[in-house]
Amino acid sequence: MTEPVAAIRAQIDRQVAHWSLAASRLALDDLASPESWSKLEQYLDVSLRRHLQAVIDRVRAAADVLNSMNRAARTPAELAEVRRRLLWFRAQYLRAETTLDYFADAIATRTSAESAALLRACDSLAYRAMAQILDQLGQPTPPVLTYIDKGLGASILKAGLRLWDAGDASPVAAIKITRHNILRPTAVIHEAGHQVAHIAGWNHELSAALAQALSPASHGLGQAWGGWASEIAADAIAFAHTGFASVAALHDVLAGQKSAVFRFTPGDPHPICYLRVLLGVEMCRYFYGDGPWDDVARAWTTMHAPSRAESHVRDLIDASISLLPAVARVTLDTPMRAFRGVPLRALVQPERVSPSALAEMATRIGPALFTSTHWLWTESLRILALTGSQLVTRPHDLREILAVQEQAMLRLGGVAKAA
């Protein structure tokens, strides 16, 4: 070899050795401690381990290919090809690392037996919310990994999507629940709704249905509401499972963002906050008639006068208010191909979480509702609906209500682990 080629070879050898060693050091045991892994439900543990091990195995296999290319390289052209492969490998390693670290951080939020039990309860709530619909559609329900993070709102990394490493689709739905809402996790059901709508293919169908229903009033109005379909779908599924509790929790998150109440960004899938809260109220009225949600609407519209909005947003709001009953009806009561020709309300009956139904359940079962393994396992979503609505109707008992919900979740988390 000439001297320049030898110099280049030395630099490449060192870098290949460095990144190959880095790949060899990737290991599941380094992502989370055995104790952290043990705090997952078994089926989730198995699915997640298998997926993450495949991520590691692909990086190691790519490192083997890189080493083989490097050993065989002799000419400047071959070394140049090794260098290109090295640059590709570095990017692939970093993408894999992002995937691994994401799940490592999520698992690590189960820092104690108590936090692990609360999150297993959230896993179970989200799984049940999905399975109740997907089972009827003949679709498998993915495992759920919930984790605690900062901020105001929840989010989901849906199962079935390719992650940063661009390998196999993730088998796990990873749902962020905010720390402040861990005892009031209706947002977890909203995120589970996103997963259901994705699997069932409901978003596009709902978008078209909303656009068609509202376009006679205004083509632009139909387009706007059709563009919000994915968030409306998730809100509707959360409402169907937990009723007024989901609407009240959504209100309380959005109420703290005064500057965002009238924000409208074309292309943003989230409805204007002002309309989103009122649509939730309309869903309650559609199924339950008059109730405490009317006070929520009165306070909301009093504190946030549309006259403060920019003119084009105010026009959109004014045109939409009278159409909210139609939006609720299309979303909850229209047969959909995604749901095998039935409406959402046929798969999950919002009537089961009406104030009267929840009161009847609480009276009939009594204190055992929050302590019995049987009732915690079979009625966990309705328990969440009950305590979530009580927070609105009995605000002075907030600490007591949340203490009851916490104990129910801790018990449910223990049951989930045993199962």
- Grouping H, G, I as helix, E, B as strand and the rest as coil, residue 145 is strand
Instruction: Give strand pairing partners of 156.
Output: 175
Confidence (pLDDT) at 1? 47
Give me the tens of pLDDT residue by residue for the chain, a chain 419 residues long.
457 778 888 999 999 999 999 999 999 988 888 888 888 888 888 999 999 999 999 999 999 999 999 999 988 999 999 999 999 999 999 999 999 999 999 999 998 999 999 999 999 999 999 999 999 999 999 999 999 999 999 999 999 999 998 888 999 999 999 999 999 999 999 999 999 999 999 999 999 999 999 988 887 899 999 999 999 999 999 999 999 999 999 999 998 666 789 999 999 999 999 999 999 999 999 999 999 999 999 999 999 999 889 999 999 999 999 999 999 999 999 999 999 999 999 999 999 999 999 999 999 999 999 999 999 999 999 999 999 999 999 999 999 999 999 999 999 998 766 55
Confidence (pLDDT) at 418? 56
Q: The tokens of 60 are what? A: 């190691």
Instruction: Give the separation between CA 201 and CA 325, rounded to whole angstroms.
Output: 24
Instruction: Give the separation between CA 385 and CA 396, rounded to whole angstroms.
Output: 18
Distance of CA 316 to the CA centre of its chain: 28
Parallel, antiparallel or unpaired: strands 144-149 and 155-157: unpaired
Q: The tokens of 318 are what? A: 């004014």
Enumerate helices (H) and strands (E) in the chain, giving the number of each: 20, 3
Nearest to 186 by CA among 224, 147, 131, 242: 242
Instruction: Give the separation between CA 318 and CA 311, rounded to whole angstroms.
Output: 10
Instruction: Give the separation between CA 398 and CA 320, rounded to whole angstroms.
Output: 34
Confidence (pLDDT) at 87? 96
Could you list the beta-strand ranges (E) of 47-132: none
Q: Which residue's entry shows tokens 């005064």?
A: 258
Instruction: Give the separation between CA 339 and CA 134, rounded to whole angstroms.
Output: 9
Confidence (pLDDT) at 256? 66
Confidence (pLDDT) at 419? 52
